[in-house]
Amino acid sequence: MSELPEETGDARVDAVLAGLGRLSGLPVSDHVAVFEEAFSGLEAALGAVDAQ
């Protein structure tokens, strides 16, 4: 897997990316749930920007 950036400058996005670090310790069958969680977190961050 390619390396993720250490920081994006947005704490919400950084938290989502940090959560992806769990993937290496999980069976592949559990990866979908992690990706869905990340997608929801990124969607929420974008929604917060749109609301401003």
Report pLDDT digits (tens) over 10-38: 899 999 989 999 999 999 999 999 999 99
Q: What pLDDT, on the 0 to 100 scale, is given for residue 1?
A: 53
Q: What pLDDT, on the 0 to 100 scale, is given for residue 27?
A: 96
| Rounded-to-integer distance, Cα 30 and Cα 13, Å | 21
Buried b (16+ CB within 10 A) or exposed e, 9-18: eeeebbebbe
Reported as a pLDDT band with limits 50, 70 and 90, residue 5 is low
Reported as a pLDDT band with limits 50, 70 and 90, residue 48 is confident
Q: What is the pTM of this model?
A: 0.77
